[in-house]
Structure 1
């Protein structure tokens, strides 16, 4: 009858009755002390064996059949015994499968110290568990998590001592969280509001809605990001209760979180720590690092020395709006002459971040912390030694470069800072490797194990270097990438290392120069953990965006590990470092929807529901297909991956953003650079002095000084629309994305 369940015996018979042709059958034996649970065993199905015997040739006889049955039973008994033995022993292989060799050089106790330091410093505001291979004997206190009531399961459901240690959850002792509904009250709904100063992004919520491994779509992720961040202000479509989409919170507390001196008794696990393991039957002690895949041919690192953990302080308890342990500094690295690529990255930074250029002066009582952008300039080839006059030369080149000169204006003095990159000085500034890195200086350019050798011959002269043919094969003397075939690979490899150096020395967030800011990063600053983002469909890192804390335990681990692995900082190699050490949770792999929303589509994923705009190839950003070329001008900046924090267009250094207006169009204040750039497009070179005394007006044709719409491209590409949008903000013709006008 409908609604009537079969009795237990009928269900058992239907599900577990062996087929007449089955060689084995299942029996279920009650487990003493555990109700409603049975142990499943496989035993020979005698009727099938009898039928098999009846079909055997007569010469085989009963004795041989009996031997086969005994042999099969013996094999089954040994299999069961082996399975039971494996349940009570570590699931750690003695030999490792073929593939990438291990990279680990730290013992388990050091990995525990690293985890503990980062957690106690407030760098792990997540409820994700710590891997069991770390082997914590008790869960650490977590000052960045609010406390929750933890209910221990009954003893019969806890892992027995013989079962492998499960993952460890941290114990929250931090301030409570208040999740925000970010909207501006009517009628001020034309622009989204700035994020609340001191707000924090809950990465657990973001991962819940955006993780590609959980089959989440980029399109759906961007909707959650823009609604939860208030970017749809005045344009919100009713969606019902969206509490589950709120991912930005404020910490409710005005005091530094203190760490208790003793672990909570109620949180003590009922299972023993894996370190050290119980001795075997032969009384031979087990290796306390058993199960960790140590790098072959090297010794374990000495015990890691770490400073005292930082104290996690909510924003409301800080003495000022800025946290000295969490500087608001974005880093970018650039080699060779400035072009329109770093130019647009800087413009997008000014258009989106809270820099204060919309104010006459920064208020002394402001609760917001202003952001800075540091441009690290390597003015020569990546492998060349630094000239003693390099700093002076750098600024001289910036002054005459039309793409860079506008940012030397006093208005941007406290916002945009140009800094000289010196590889030797920077590596000497890393305590973990300063005394050892020179051993590897001839193989310093190491990317994923591919090494470009650079000879450091003291007898070589500058003349010998200058006579080298600077063609497509002369990779040592390139300063920038002029085409896909003339790619400056050395600078790319150097930048792989530079981002980790800069974040470890100075703190902050590193971004590749082929990045465009799309919104304020306030709540990302509030989340104090380290992060990069996912390499498209692969569970690997892309470090085009990298956040690390200054002088952190994670940074110490990475540099010591990289030193023993050839100073290789390719993102795929870094993925191996953290995976081998079970530290991936400390360098969170965020979904690429946040910073690289087109990547999955360009690799043929999620094309059934792509985000807006839909790029089948990264080149579509520069050459938008005709079928969708109405979107850039119709939708503008607000229609470009709205909700994402940035967009990564993946190189294309040689492709201009705006071919028909390939010059810095920033208005009369910066007309000198515009004249120089426009003259260069016409094949004419004018000096800075000529541009300053207006003699260029006689050099340039009237058609080169005047703009005619007939000469412009009819359907503008996305790259051109974004460039012209950012430039109009600097000219004072429109506000930024938050409705703020620049003040000169």
Structure 2
């Protein structure tokens, strides 16, 4: 508003001379406040200048070209911002989480291509965009797509999804049920069967709001564990997750798969490693040189029952005196896995590959160096230990093997780090960036040794096992974080923490050729309490070289960072914890509106079941304990006995010497006091019921979970 025509005229003239025009915007709700003035481009000044210099028509053309140029610049800037949000930038990732990446995109492509070509990615899940594939990789572990052309149809970049192209055997999904008259127990999984983890993820993924309770039902029904108790009606094709491979790997199509069209950074316009920020102050690794990919062989095409490239070995690591914890792990192994103990030892089975259990014993404290007689001493201690001696019986010699862990020997056996790990020897106990330094030992006199032993008997460096919550053997836990990757990379197989109990046969997990761990409860991190990796794989090479450049840190959270920063999470599948740790979400106050059975609010409930829930263990027994899950992880509690009333191995006359040592002492040969039921705990806990179930199988009083009686 102007008080006179003169002011208005002067204002318009001033506008025409300036490159900007002020725009006044009143403040809502404050009419008396001075309006906000925002400068805008003066189009009239630009038009007048262009007309005076180029003429009326050409001036308008110049203005249109300038407007188009400004629009293009704005669009490019907006697109770059969207790419930053989608791909990430070094600065962006650095603010959230310091990068651990020491490889370039070219090497990450090699890792993906090697693992896929070896059949270690039997999934149709999308491949990460940041790996920057230029064509669809061929996957021998996937069947060919149904009625799908080989050449991709071009799609808009926002809708484009890159998946591998399958040329493997066809899949036939099984309806597993017990058949009369053998319906009292569930059937063994079909040898060579495979679990489709894509289907499992569809039903069990916590990120997709799937419940553990519903997941366990799908696992039960699809695995045939609901024999004679099925109450579901209707077709259950969507719940079938176990299949057999039929036919052979097909030749790769002669027609080349079309180049992959995606909105990705290129060498010309961007840094080729854009979106993959490298670890600061560390040189990148040299370019990878990998061996030829493995030849993928379906189970039916193997010459024998076992695949030499996929050995069926369970690994477990233990430090300190052998207790009831590894004892129960081994007992559950005998009770559930297809170790063929129901047949005479001279009657081999031509159709089944028997799994083995390798129990790795660290003979001393985690930081100690084994003495030359450590192996002999280890077996002498195992023979005299009532919890360990039963597994030295000749009947178990082909399936349970005790092996001694030697840190130096094991690290020297990993080609990727054998020449470099000693640089970090004093700081190798690294857990998530928290380093526990190990000082070099200095020779002391006898008197000085006695004094230091008295002072340091409870020192962290000298602990041998966890005796209570306050005296936790932290170093052994850190060492086990590293040991699991060493063992799986050197020998292949599956690693399990010692606080794990088998709940069913793992046949179809062995059939799935991918690597896996499982989810850290509600968090999108790995928990490596269960870890499956292939021997000498490209993924293993990446993990060891990356861990070396990050201080030999193998903590599960650190492993998550390594794979996340390198876009390799798909090669180590993060399975839902419902499969191996069904109580975890519930103990953290998640899904309590529909919890699984049994209902645990704390992990301690397994050892000390609350009174209001303690009728379930005896009434339901082993069959009512997280039925459908492959294992149960009770999360430490090394100091809590499984059976408070009968805290000894109760395995009958064949192992009476071990029971006598546990009950009466080493040098006592007298008779046991009579066992009276009135002395037993009235309400038995879940831990007690499972222990007594496994022991009754070894005593010959009941069959295992699949109805097979142990034959001596």
Shared topology, TM-score over 0.5? yes
CA distance in 2, matches of 1:87, 1:167: 20
Query: Once the two structures are superposed, what CA deviation does each residue of 1:95-127 show, in whole Å capped at 9, x if it has no partner?
Result: 235233110001100000000000000000000
Change (3 A) 1:65 1:80: farther
Deviation at 1:307, TM superposition (A): 1.2
Query: Once the two structures are superposed, what CA deviation does each residue of 1:286-341 show, in whole Å capped at 9, x if it has no partner?
Result: 43212211111011100112111001111011101110000010000000110000
- Aligned counterpart, 2:529: 544
Deviation at 1:184, TM superposition (A): 1.7
- Aligned counterpart, 2:178: 184
CA distance in 2, matches of 1:57, 1:665: 88
On the 8 A contact 1:621/1:719 being kept in 2, the answer is: yes
- Aligned counterpart, 1:200: 194
Kindly indicate whether residue 674 of structure 2 is the aligned counterpart of residue 706 of structure 1: yes
Query: Once the two structures are superposed, what CA deviation does each residue of 1:525-552 show, in whole Å capped at 9, x if it has no partner?
Result: 0001000000000000000000000000
Kindly indicate whether residue 74 of structure 2 is the aligned counterpart of residue 82 of structure 1: yes
Equivalent residue runs for 1:470-619 within 5 Å:
473-619=458-604
SS at match of 1:301: coil
CA distance in 1, matches of 2:206, 2:90: 33
- Aligned counterpart, 1:175: 169
Give the RMSD, CA atoms, in angstroms.
2.9
Kindly indicate whether residue 268 of structure 2 is the aligned counterpart of residue 278 of structure 1: yes
On the 8 A contact 1:256/1:311 being kept in 2, the answer is: no
Aligned pair partner of 1:735 in 693, 703, 710? 703
- Aligned counterpart, 1:351: 335
Deviation at 1:455, TM superposition (A): 1.4
- Aligned counterpart, 1:715: 683
On the 8 A contact 2:152/2:257 being kept in 1, the answer is: no
Deviation at 1:277, TM superposition (A): 2.4
TM-score relative to the length of structure 2: 0.88
CA distance in 2, matches of 1:382, 1:525: 31
Aligned pair partner of 1:726 in 694, 700, 706? 694
CA distance in 2, matches of 1:278, 1:504: 38
On the 8 A contact 2:135/2:257 being kept in 1, the answer is: no
Kindly indicate whether residue 229 of structure 2 is the aligned counterpart of residue 243 of structure 1: no
- Aligned counterpart, 1:445: 429
Deviation at 1:156, TM superposition (A): 7.4
On the 8 A contact 2:518/2:573 being kept in 1, the answer is: yes
SS at match of 2:96: coil
CA distance in 2, matches of 1:461, 1:537: 53
Deviation at 1:129, TM superposition (A): 1.1
Kindly indicate whether residue 156 of structure 2 is the aligned counterpart of residue 158 of structure 1: yes
TM-score relative to the length of structure 1: 0.84
SS at match of 2:95: coil
Equivalent residue runs for 1:116-155 within 5 Å:
116-148=113-145, 149-150=147-148
CA distance in 2, matches of 1:525, 1:440: 35
CA distance in 2, matches of 1:642, 1:115: 35
CA distance in 2, matches of 1:727, 1:717: 16
Kindly indicate whether residue 419 of structure 2 is the aligned counterpart of residue 435 of structure 1: yes
Change (3 A) 1:548 1:463: farther
CA distance in 2, matches of 1:534, 1:56: 54
Kindly indicate whether residue 99 of structure 2 is the aligned counterpart of residue 114 of structure 1: no
SS at match of 1:546: strand
Query: Once the two structures are superposed, what CA deviation does each residue of 1:632-655 show, in whole Å capped at 9, x if it has no partner?
Result: 000000000000000000000000
- Aligned counterpart, 1:693: none
SS at match of 1:327: coil
On the 8 A contact 2:90/2:277 being kept in 1, the answer is: no
Equivalent residue runs for 1:659-678 within 5 Å:
659-678=644-663
CA distance in 2, matches of 1:226, 1:370: 23
On the 8 A contact 2:25/2:37 being kept in 1, the answer is: no
- Aligned counterpart, 1:308: 292
Deviation at 1:739, TM superposition (A): 0.0
Equivalent residue runs for 1:374-389 within 5 Å:
374-389=358-373
Deviation at 1:362, TM superposition (A): 6.1
CA distance in 2, matches of 1:397, 1:496: 25
Please list every run of 5 or more consecutive structure 2 residues that lacks an aligned counterpart in the other structure: 1-22, 44-65
- Aligned counterpart, 2:306: 322
On the 8 A contact 2:206/2:522 being kept in 1, the answer is: yes
Aligned pair partner of 1:658 in 643, 650, 654? 643
CA distance in 2, matches of 1:79, 1:268: 31
Change (3 A) 1:311 1:257: farther
SS at match of 1:540: strand
CA distance in 2, matches of 1:462, 1:574: 44
On the 8 A contact 2:609/2:686 being kept in 1, the answer is: yes
Please list every run of 5 or more consecutive structure 1 residues that lacks an aligned counterpart in the other structure: 1-48, 280-285, 680-684, 691-695
Deviation at 1:234, TM superposition (A): 1.2
The farther-off stretch of 490-499 and 291-300 is 291-300
CA distance in 2, matches of 1:54, 1:732: 85
Deviation at 1:265, TM superposition (A): 3.0
On the 8 A contact 1:53/1:65 being kept in 2, the answer is: no
- Aligned counterpart, 1:5: none
SS at match of 1:227: helix
On the 8 A contact 1:119/1:142 being kept in 2, the answer is: yes
Kindly indicate whether residue 100 of structure 2 is the aligned counterpart of residue 103 of structure 1: yes
CA distance in 2, matches of 1:154, 1:416: 50
CA distance in 2, matches of 1:714, 1:121: 55
Equivalent residue runs for 1:619-634 within 5 Å:
619-634=604-619
- Aligned counterpart, 2:258: 267
On the 8 A contact 1:257/1:313 being kept in 2, the answer is: no
CA distance in 2, matches of 1:462, 1:645: 52
CA distance in 2, matches of 1:58, 1:535: 58
Change (3 A) 1:472 1:57: same
CA distance in 2, matches of 1:54, 1:506: 72
CA distance in 1, matches of 2:304, 2:387: 35
